[in-house]
Amino acid sequence: MRISLSYPAALVASFMFSSHARAVDVNAGDYTALPAGTNVALWYQQYSRSDQYHPDNGSTNRAGTSLKSNISIVRLIHFMKVGGITIDPQILLPFGHVYDARISGQSLSSATGLADPIIGATFWLVNQPAAGMSGRYFGITPLIYLPFGSYDKHDALNLGENRFKGDLQLGWIEPLWGKISFELYGDAVFYGHNNDAGNGNQTLKQDPTYQIQTNLRYDFDPTRRVAFGYSAITGGKQFLESDYTGQKTQVQQVRVEYQQMVNRSVQLSAQLTHDTHVDGGFQEDIGINLRALLVF
């Protein structure tokens, strides 16, 4: 899982800036339902680097343009059964550092602190762990972003967004043949208003964002797997009062991930990502996402 953060604060006049992704990105196997009573603790470490900025309907900025981030996430999950359905209440606590932010030589400074916490749970409507190598699963996950992250209306960069967000995510894992399986995920993200945007007295509004994520997954055995993924995001136009800011969420991305159980309760994974197309934001040149998972 990767949380893509946004930074809704004024750069110049009414021009607004945010990162492109809006949903909670998945790791391979995220929609595998574990037995009731199982607890999972995860640590994510995510680094990304961008050196291009693509405003909507504008010229690409390359010279003097960059954005780097180093984000950590603590995630706690508890699996339980309610009415015969497996669910997993969970909380995610992101924090970190965004730095070396520039557009055409104009510095946007940096930001350090907490991002908005996320609470939610997956409800598994299909739970067939014996199907194929991967199992067959279908789940629905409502997630709520709480506006408790670091935010200052005077700063060009913020890790908090100063608004509520809701993400409705659907996930499906389907075994194909042998050790190969297919994963499909869909997100719809809805945004509350940030009433302290722009010069601090303006309202930032945003259209819903929609995302499709896929993984083609190969399980070498129950302890090792590799996945090749793709993500497409659309929507998310931002408006400061009634003026379109040139920011939206038009992104296509490719991914590759490897996961390894190192013992019965610990799994390590590494994922590389690269944006192949962006319209309305920074284009990520490379993303490195590391994860440690503990089952207890």
Report the pLDDT value the prediction gives residue 118, as an integer from 0 to 100: 97
Instruction: Please name the helix (run of DSSP H) or strand (run of DSSP E) that holds residue 221, with its range, or none.
Output: strand 209-221
Contacts of 129 (CB under 8 A, 6+ apart): 32, 33, 135
Report the pLDDT value the prediction gives residue 23, as an integer from 0 to 100: 66
> What DSSP assignment string belongs to 80-147?
EEETTEEE--EEEEEEEEEEEEEETTEE---EEEE---EEE--EEEEEETTSTTT-EEEEEEEEEE-S
Report the pLDDT value the prediction gives residue 104, as an integer from 0 to 100: 87
% residues pLDDT > 90 (the chain): 73
Is 20's pLDDT higher than 60?
Answer: no
Please list the residues that pair with 281 across neighbouring strands. 54
Domain 2-295 has CATH 2.40.128.130: yes
Report the pLDDT value the prediction gives residue 249, as an integer from 0 to 100: 83
Number of H helices, E strands in the chain: 0, 25
Return the closest-CA partner of residue 186 out of 24, 21, 3.
24
Q: Rounded distance, CA 53 to CA 235, Å? A: 17
Average pLDDT value for residue range 143-170: 93
Low-confidence winner among 53-57, 68-72, 259-263, 269-273 (lowest mean pLDDT): 53-57
Is 12's pLDDT higher than 70?
Answer: no
> What DSSP assignment string belongs to 142-211?
EEEE-S-S---TT-S--SS-SS-EEEEEEEEEEEEETTEEEEEEEEEEEE--EEEETTTTEEEEE--EEE
Report the pLDDT value the prediction gives residue 14, as an integer from 0 to 100: 24
The whole-model pTM stands at: 0.90
Which one is predicted more confidently, 103 or 217?
Answer: 217
**The pairing of beta strand 224-235 with beta strand 194-197:** unpaired
> What would the pLDDT profile of 64-112 be if each residue is shown by its tens digit?
899 999 999 999 999 999 999 999 999 999 999 999 988 888 888 889 9
Return the closest-CA partner of residue 95 out of 5, 190, 163.
5
Exposure string (b/e) for 220-235, b if CB count within 10 Å is 16 or more? eeeeebbbebebebbb
